[in-house]
Amino acid sequence: MISFASDYTTGAHPEILRRLAETNFEHLPGYGTDAYCESAKEKIRAAVGLPEAEVEFIAGGTQTNAVVISSMLSDHEGVIAATTGHVNTHEAGAIEYTGHKVLALPQKEGKLRAADVEDFLSSFFADPSREHMVFPGMVYLSHPTEYGTVYSKKELEEISSLCRGYGITLFLDGARLGYALECQGNDLSLPDIARLCDVFYIGGTKVGALCGEAVVFTRGNRPPHFINSVKKRGALLAKGRLLGIQFDTLFTDGLYFRISRHAIEAAHRLRGIFSSRGYEFYIDSPTNQQFIIMENEKLEKLREKIGFSVWEKYDDRRTVVRFATGWSTTDGELDELEKALLTVDSEK
Amino acid sequence: MISFASDYTTGAHPEILRRLAETNFEHLPGYGTDAYCESAKEKIRAAVGLPEAEVEFIAGGTQTNAVVISSMLSDHEGVIAATTGHVNTHEAGAIEYTGHKVLALPQKEGKLRAADVEDFLSSFFADPSREHMVFPGMVYLSHPTEYGTVYSKKELEEISSLCRGYGITLFLDGARLGYALECQGNDLSLPDIARLCDVFYIGGTKVGALCGEAVVFTRGNRPPHFINSVKKRGALLAKGRLLGIQFDTLFTDGLYFRISRHAIEAAHRLRGIFSSRGYEFYIDSPTNQQFIIMENEKLEKLREKIGFSVWEKYDDRRTVVRFATGWSTTDGELDELEKALLTVDSEK
Amino acid sequence: MISFASDYTTGAHPEILRRLAETNFEHLPGYGTDAYCESAKEKIRAAVGLPEAEVEFIAGGTQTNAVVISSMLSDHEGVIAATTGHVNTHEAGAIEYTGHKVLALPQKEGKLRAADVEDFLSSFFADPSREHMVFPGMVYLSHPTEYGTVYSKKELEEISSLCRGYGITLFLDGARLGYALECQGNDLSLPDIARLCDVFYIGGTKVGALCGEAVVFTRGNRPPHFINSVKKRGALLAKGRLLGIQFDTLFTDGLYFRISRHAIEAAHRLRGIFSSRGYEFYIDSPTNQQFIIMENEKLEKLREKIGFSVWEKYDDRRTVVRFATGWSTTDGELDELEKALLTVDSEK
Amino acid sequence: MISFASDYTTGAHPEILRRLAETNFEHLPGYGTDAYCESAKEKIRAAVGLPEAEVEFIAGGTQTNAVVISSMLSDHEGVIAATTGHVNTHEAGAIEYTGHKVLALPQKEGKLRAADVEDFLSSFFADPSREHMVFPGMVYLSHPTEYGTVYSKKELEEISSLCRGYGITLFLDGARLGYALECQGNDLSLPDIARLCDVFYIGGTKVGALCGEAVVFTRGNRPPHFINSVKKRGALLAKGRLLGIQFDTLFTDGLYFRISRHAIEAAHRLRGIFSSRGYEFYIDSPTNQQFIIMENEKLEKLREKIGFSVWEKYDDRRTVVRFATGWSTTDGELDELEKALLTVDSEK
């Protein structure tokens, strides 16, 4: 069945599979020490505009968050995140499993606001009992957020400057980073992000890879013996080539950006299909995830024809559902969606 | 360069890549809930001869060990392992990271002996101060071991019966299980292992997959909410299809066993090449890893031509080196090795 | 200087010191296995009205919370607490250090409301993505709360019944339990608490002991090998007599209740002193902690004469301060406070 | 019953109880910030001959080991200890609970030998796969050891110099430090220990206190925000005065050393009692713990009259038992022991 349930419902961009096959018989050293990993790192360093950046590959997003956060925080520190942040909601407590607290702050449209972060930091550091409390040691942002929204350059600059003022690490979770970079109205380039964040990752799993995220340490701040920390958390793949070849492919001839743009264009058409039929959007998302308010009856009928995700209850009669596009979304699939909606809307 | 450095120096068996490509455009649900995972589980249940076994896929070996051990042990328990066991030596402390001690016991040729385990258990449970000590809650075996040796049916039966007598979980790390199953002299079938162990895993990464291990819980003993525990440890892949399709392929038409047999035959020839030239073996391994004692000078010359692993110092003059075969080892590669050895031996 | 900064600013009730001295030369076994621990447990079982309750002593409150919560939760579970709960704010992340998330819910006057808990539980268990989330496995209440307020019998019954309906453990942090039991308007007896909670503790440190909390498992639900879990967390005192003798003394001839009543009466007088002088209370607390809104200038002057705690900013001009009474509060000290206030109020 | 089971079977030295009573009504701030803690720290700095040493108090020994080790190690590091070291055997896995491995090395009479440590370190740092292994980041010594033996100045100098050469922290567990300092033949003064170790602790619990250990960081190396780390591990007592007053008393007029000397003299007499009656010693201990080989039948008869600890099986007929002296051991008790032995020896 055609599905818009997520951006990970199909395999990898064919170019990735082609490269995996092409290199399959080469003997390469393990654990990320092969030439493809090195080449991919070099290309990523170029793309982010930081020749000295340190790049590491990890298989999945939750794993990346747990490894980065726990290896960069000091013992007395926790990580600030929006209440809706992935690390606070949908990682089964993976951050707390490493012994660190997620300090959840209010959000607006999935985003942390600099003012809220500042209020929190200033009252924390004024609190006389702060040695009995978890110190804020990092700010975690997802970009795009869990609701598809993106930070503007101004917003990220404010948070970045705040973090630097307080000596706090700024970490950006870019599980879907490509879709932020290519969305309409975006004014934050990859080099901007690299300049403003202390560490971030470029998501592969949700942008055309089989698996894999590329972590970028921007300021010579990769924790010492990082590979050991990765191994200790069970996150070091023996066949590191699997990640290296994928990212080398994604960052050759701009494939990562092309995939992202393709999904954004598909999302734009998808958005049009819904809005032209009078559907309301739960949130105004410029990226590949679209959140639509749907009557429960229609939802039940539509799900027989098309895959999508049930997000949350809206009211007694309606539900928020998510439709996502990805590298593989085709015009034909969008045609099918339109047809299915037509049928569902006309019934009754 | 041709390499025998490990069984993970090349990619995946071509049949796996073919199947990944073939299914690439199918929309599948994530996190291991797709039909290929289900089909692979069904085939594995058949292969191990336990229709009720619970099978779960995890990306890597250290991760699998950490997830299985930490989710199955009680708070007061640790895991018994040979001092040379992978969990005790080469996992960067991944087990301790989960808060559990590895209780290291002496080994012989990489194997735990039932008598040593029994001595340990009987004196532990007789010790009046045992509530201040780490309780043995699991026995961890690697099969084949880190030295390529294998347990006999009788040895495994003894340890299994000991564990059941004491109510202790028996966990077998089968990162290279295929090579044990197919080696000469082996009398332990996959159903034997399933019958004797409480939990074990069938290694994919080192037996022809890009990544992936299949954990088999044999007695309805999968921890409740296991997926949550996997997620909490950062070990849940979004595109679970990557593991499902690979294992489905490996367990179709006996591919897993054919790959293993191929590597065993190659190891047999490799062994012959070395022994016919008068090399000594550090240990008598019937599986795909061969440990050879090599003069340091020869080692330096040979490594310019052929890849292999430096294992450990033997004496001031000699070093133990490891040569491993795998799914992709060819006769041509073995010919090259023979030629290189000839050259190296004749120099001087 | 006279201080109302907390209920732990003086030593122990003299009767405790007397008993420590009296028994000092007796040879007793260690680690809580002595006769005084046994006798104290027996007296506590009688006081809570549960002959089968299991009682254990731990030195401090944060330690008790961490030990109880982490040894009772399953791997996939976290603990629900009010945002203002001690475990969520002032324990330096001790719960997260054990690998479990604190699931913070809104509070009213420091208390969790059954309706909020119910909403959370019902939407959690209806959420299709819950296997990626932290399961609520326990509800944590502090009684009295961090703001001195107490749950009514009806409120505790509602939460208890909710927890039992969902199969979730109810844990009551009674660091200051005596003050709740003896406060005006309280309708929750110790046996009520024992009947309604699955586990709770009777605080010693803040109710006249040098240190020590008595954990009561009410339903045969003490985790197996609990002493081992206590030891593993570094919380097992060698001279367990220190806790046993103290609790034996506190639960002889109702000393625990007398101490509590004394502090409540002192708090009542303290309250009168402030209210008669026109001070506003931040919250209406019936227990030994009183929260007063004080002008910053007065605060600065008063703190030169009398000790108290600065709690939080109220507005630009005023601050919330805390005055606590305890076992050692005397009429003379309250006279001094009154005098100091008079001076401060009359200045300017 | 008279007992030599351990050095923690009686309460505290009477001078400690006297000082607790004397200061009982003083209002003091909590959590170790009171004047007695400060005074005790000052006296300890003087006693160890390091005016800049940082001193912190923690309630118990296992807790101290866990806090110190886990807050000083880096993520990739573990701690070297003798196989018989307390952290490796009798702490219920408290170190592993903090996520760090104990790297157990062979021991001789309970002691690590510099040569074994050196072998381990040199091969570790030569191992090409060390990034997959736990790095040795600390050496843990107990002094006296678990078998009552002590390191000589030369032995400690060798290990210290080795650690400094490798940049590894040297941590000495002095749970019974006084008995080492005062034993016959000892040539290691407290200032020697402070000079040679990076961190060590002066045990109170087993040397006359009710509880409490004084950790000394000798080189400005107390971890930043150490109090927060202590709190996070549940190890921060609200009434910190309990530790401050005890250590202030122990380090006033040399009480700590007098208590230790007293126990050593008692142990000397105890030793004589056994040896004059022909008993064999399991190990030659100069400190307050004596290990005697006793026939099982005698053991059973003796334990009816006198308390002692059963240590381990010696052979089928005999058992190693431990007799310990302490601050409270009297000549009368030793007379009773002698009498009891006489009876037991003469029976049969």
Q: Report pLDDT digits (tens) over B162-220.
A: 999 999 999 999 999 999 999 999 999 999 999 999 999 999 999 999 999 999 999 99
pLDDT in tens, B281-319: 999 999 999 999 999 999 999 999 999 999 999 999 999
Contact by Cβ (8 Å): B95, B110: no
The verdict on residue D220 lying in a domain is yes
Q: Do A2 and B228 touch (CB under 8 A)?
A: no
* Interval B258-270 mean pLDDT: 98
Q: Do D93 and B134 touch (CB under 8 A)?
A: yes
Q: Read off the CATH number of the domain in which B324 is found.
A: 3.90.1150.10
Domain end position, chosen among B253, B272, B295: B253
Q: Is A71 on the interface with D (CB under 8 A)?
A: yes
Are residues C277 and C221 both part of a single domain?
A: no
Among candidates A31, A71, A76 on the partner chain, residue whose Cβ is nearest the Cβ of D225: A76
d(CA D64, CA D70): 10
Are residues B129 and B274 both part of a single domain?
A: no
Interface test with C, best of A63, A74, A132, A138 (most C CBs within 10 A): A132
- What tokens does A275 get? 């809005």
The verdict on residue D5 lying in a domain is no
Whole-number percent of chain A with pLDDT over 70: 100
Please report, as a single letter, which amino acid is at residue B164: R
Contact by Cβ (8 Å): C55, C41: yes
Contact by Cβ (8 Å): B196, B157: yes
Q: Do D96 and B101 touch (CB under 8 A)?
A: yes
Pairing between β-strand C77-82 and β-strand C169-174 as defined by DSSP bridges: unpaired
Q: Is C99 on the interface with B (CB under 8 A)?
A: yes
Q: Read off the CATH number of the domain in which C104 is found.
A: 3.40.640.10
Average pLDDT value for chain D: 97
Q: Do B24 and A12 touch (CB under 8 A)?
A: yes
Q: Is A122 on the interface with C (CB under 8 A)?
A: no
Looking at residue B9, what DSSP letter applies? S
Whole-number percent of chain D with pLDDT over 90: 99
Q: Is B104 on the interface with D (CB under 8 A)?
A: yes
Residue whose entry in the numeric block shows the structure tokens 């002008």: C295
Are residues D172 and D100 both part of a single domain?
A: yes
Question: C 173-232 residues with CB below 8 A of B?
Answer: 223-225, 227-229, 231-232
d(CA C294, CA C272): 15
Are residues C89 and C203 both part of a single domain?
A: yes
* Interval A130-149 mean pLDDT: 98
B51: cis peptide before it, omega within 30°? Answer: no
Q: Do A75 and D231 touch (CB under 8 A)?
A: no
Q: Looking at residue B56, what is its pLDDT?
A: 98
Q: Do C93 and A78 touch (CB under 8 A)?
A: yes
Q: Is B96 on the interface with D (CB under 8 A)?
A: yes
Are residues C75 and C160 both part of a single domain?
A: yes
Structure confidence at residue D348 as a pLDDT band (50, 70, 90): low
Q: Do B21 and A17 touch (CB under 8 A)?
A: yes
CA distance A75 to chain D (A): 7
Q: Looking at residue B324, what is its pLDDT?
A: 98
3-state secondary structure A225-278: CHHHHHHHCCCCCCCCHHHHHHHHHHCCCCHHHHHHHHHHHHHHHHHHHHHHCC
Q: Name residues whose C-beta falls within 8 Å of residue C93's C-beta, 6 or more positions apart in sequence.
A: A76, A78, A99, A100, A101, A134, D232
State the number of CA atoms in the 13 A half-sphere of C286 facing the CB: 17
Are residues C48 and C167 both part of a single domain?
A: yes
The verdict on residue A318 lying in a domain is yes
Q: Looking at residue D22, what is its pLDDT?
A: 98
The verdict on residue C9 lying in a domain is no
Radius of gyration in angstroms for the set of CA atoms belonging to chain A, rounded to a whole number: 21
Beta-ladder partners of A80? A103, A139
User: Does residue B348 register a pLDDT over 70?
Assistant: no
Q: Do A30 and B205 touch (CB under 8 A)?
A: no
Q: Do D228 and A132 touch (CB under 8 A)?
A: yes
Structure confidence at residue D92 as a pLDDT band (50, 70, 90): very high
Q: Do C227 and B131 touch (CB under 8 A)?
A: yes
Chains contacting chain B through 3 or more C-beta pairs under 8 A = A, C, D
Looking at residue A132, what DSSP letter applies? G
Q: Do D17 and C1 touch (CB under 8 A)?
A: no
CA dihedral C274, C280, C283, C285 (to 10 degrees): 20
pLDDT in tens, B28-55: 999 999 999 999 999 999 999 999 999 9
The verdict on residue A18 lying in a domain is no
d(CA B243, CA B209): 9
Q: Which of B83, B75, B187 is nearest to B142 (CA)?
A: B83
User: Does residue C287 register a pLDDT over 90?
Assistant: yes
Residues shown for chain C: 348
Interface test with B, best of C71, C124, C134, C228 (most B CBs within 10 A): C228
CA distance C17 to chain D (A): 7
Chains contacting chain D through 3 or more C-beta pairs under 8 A = A, B, C
Structure confidence at residue A348 as a pLDDT band (50, 70, 90): low
* Interval A123-135 mean pLDDT: 95
Q: Which residues in chain B touch residue A30, judged by CB atoms under 8 angstroms apart? A: 6, 8-9
Among candidates A90, A96, A123 on the partner chain, residue whose Cβ is nearest the Cβ of C99: A96
Contact by Cβ (8 Å): D223, A76: no
- The angle subtended at Cα C12 by Cα C149 and Cα C201, nearest 5°, is 45
- What tokens does C136 get? 């609520």
Contact by Cβ (8 Å): A68, A171: yes
Beta-ladder partners of A78? A136
The verdict on residue C6 lying in a domain is no
Contact by Cβ (8 Å): D59, C236: no
- What tokens does A195 get? 């300049």
CA distance A118 to chain B (A): 30
Q: Which residues in chain B touch residue C75, judged by CB atoms under 8 angstroms apart? A: 70-71, 223, 225, 228-229, 232
User: Does residue A152 register a pLDDT over 90?
Assistant: yes
Pairing between β-strand A213-217 and β-strand A199-203 as defined by DSSP bridges: antiparallel
Q: Is B241 on the interface with A (CB under 8 A)?
A: yes
Domain end position, chosen among C202, C232, C254: C254
Pairing between β-strand A213-217 and β-strand A54-58 as defined by DSSP bridges: antiparallel
Are residues A260 and A248 both part of a single domain?
A: no
d(CA D241, CA D235): 14
Are residues C232 and C284 both part of a single domain?
A: no
Q: Which residues in chain A touch residue D56, judged by CB atoms under 8 angstroms apart? A: none
Q: Which residues in chain A touch residue D227, judged by CB atoms under 8 angstroms apart? A: 131
Whole-number percent of chain C with pLDDT over 70: 100
Contact by Cβ (8 Å): D56, D200: no
- Write the DSSP assignment of A52-99 as a string of letters: T-EEEEES-HHHHHHHHHHHHS-TTEEEEEETT-HHHHSSTTHHHHTT
The verdict on residue A32 lying in a domain is yes
Interface test with B, best of A9, A173, A243, A327 (most B CBs within 10 A): A9
d(CA C15, CA C7): 17
Interface test with B, best of C96, C131, C226 (most B CBs within 10 A): C131
d(CA B63, CA B85): 15
CA distance C327 to chain D (A): 10
Q: Name residues whose C-beta falls within 8 Å of residue B74's C-beta, 6 or more positions apart in sequence.
A: B135, B137, C224, C225
d(CA B130, CA B133): 5
Q: Is D315 on the interface with A (CB under 8 A)?
A: no
- What tokens does C11 get? 């030593």
Domain end position, chosen among A229, A253, A277: A253
> What range does the domain containing D220 cover?
15-254
Among candidates A93, A99, A132 on the partner chain, residue whose Cβ is nearest the Cβ of C90: A132
Structural domain tally of chain B?
2
Residue whose entry in the numeric block shows the structure tokens 């919250």: C283
| CA distances from residue C187 to B291, C180, C262, D202 in whole angstroms, order as listed | 76, 9, 18, 48
Q: Which residues in chain D touch residue A74, judged by CB atoms under 8 angstroms apart? A: 224-225
Q: Looking at residue B100, what is its pLDDT?
A: 98
CA distance C68 to chain B (A): 12
Are residues D301 and D248 both part of a single domain?
A: no
Structure confidence at residue C347 as a pLDDT band (50, 70, 90): confident
Q: Which residues in chain D touch residue C231, judged by CB atoms under 8 angstroms apart? A: 62, 91-92, 94
Which helix (H) or strand (E) segment holds residue B142: the answer is strand B135-142
Are residues A308 and A213 both part of a single domain?
A: no
* Interval C273-285 mean pLDDT: 97
Structure confidence at residue C348 as a pLDDT band (50, 70, 90): low
Q: Is D75 on the interface with A (CB under 8 A)?
A: yes
C191: cis peptide before it, omega within 30°? Answer: no
Among candidates C14, C23, C233 on the partner chain, residue whose Cβ is nearest the Cβ of D24: C14
Q: Which of C343, C345, C332, C180 is nearest to C269 (CA)?
A: C332
Looking at residue C206, what DSSP letter applies? T
Q: Is A126 on the interface with B (CB under 8 A)?
A: no
Residues shown for chain D: 348
Are residues C171 and C292 both part of a single domain?
A: no
Cα of A325 vs its chain's centroid, Å: 14
Are residues C181 and C232 both part of a single domain?
A: yes
**Chain C residue with Cα closest to D87:** C232
Among candidates D89, D92, D132 on the partner chain, residue whose Cβ is nearest the Cβ of B90: D132
Average pLDDT value for chain C: 97
The verdict on residue D1 lying in a domain is no
Q: Does the ipTM exceed 0.95?
A: yes
| 3-class DSSP assignment, residue D310 | strand
What backbone torsions phi and psi does residue B301 show, to the nearest 5 degrees?
Answer: -75, -40
